[in-house]
A and B are shown apart, each in its own frame.
Chain A
Amino acid sequence: MAAGTPGVASGAADGTGRTTPGPGSVVVRAVVGGWRGLVWYLEGMMGADAYKKYVAHHRAVHPGVEPLGERQFWREKMDAEDANPQGRCC
């Protein structure tokens, strides 16, 4: 269901396949695109998009099976981290 990776530079796609509903000026579009690109980048880096990615994956691989709810997903994710800790660097 997903379109290609939203480009940070072009920033036209927001990750759901929709494109920016063209606001009048090129500048506004560039600012909106840049902002979306930034949000997309930071969310990815912090792992804030984990649920979105999980749902997309789940829909593609197990169609017809209902994915976990958001609350439940994060609980299981945190429990998994409890059971499998990762070091941080010095």
Chain B
Amino acid sequence: MTAAVRVLALAKHYGEDEALIRAVDDVDLEVPAGESVVVVGPSGCGKSTLLQLMGGLDRPTSGEVWVEGRRVDGASERMRARLRRDHVGFVFQDFHLMDELTAVENVELPALLAGTPSRQARRGAIALLEDVGMADRERHRPAELSGGQKQRVAIARALVNRPTVLLADEPTGNLDSTATTGILRLFDRLRAGGQTLIVVTHDQRTAATADRMVSMRDGALVEDVALPSTATSAADILSVGTRE
């Protein structure tokens, strides 16, 4: 089975000679379909760059990027655009919603741009907003939404064309603890539904919920572990005895 996303010897360099910065340094990574991977590391370790390269938002200096069995790194901008339209959904830390459109209009935009008839696109958008728990705010503009709500709208937008892979760059970076919990629940549901997830984060909680954790430092992968599944109940953890 072809992997959803695969990178081989991927590298992204900036500058030259003494000023050379290896943002991503010879990374190999393969993500099968349906898996949820989290990429962690200190700030400046290159995890965001890696994600952008995987999503075709940036050109690598060298190496290969394959999405759904199609080679992406050398493709034209037009082909990459098509890829983003049909196979890859991207969620940004800064949301990047259009201020003058309502939530539902933001979500249906990619569908409209892909040529979906307007009524169908609208229906799909409303359904997705329900999925992310934002159905009652569909007519609100981004300025009227909190950070967590905006992020949920952004996730809905990334999913509207049913991409195979969802890439999220610090999705909980700008959110408080409660909003983070909301997003984590959402990701949980997506995972249960079989969505391939690749999430870049420096938040411990987000990292703890994935199936697989990849650590980066100075542009290179240093660790790649599968996280064991657990079945602990709340009561076990919160031992409420009558001791003092």
The finding on whether chains A and B are genuine partners in a shared complex, rather than unrelated, reads no
Interface residues, chain A, with chain B CB atoms under 8 Å away: none
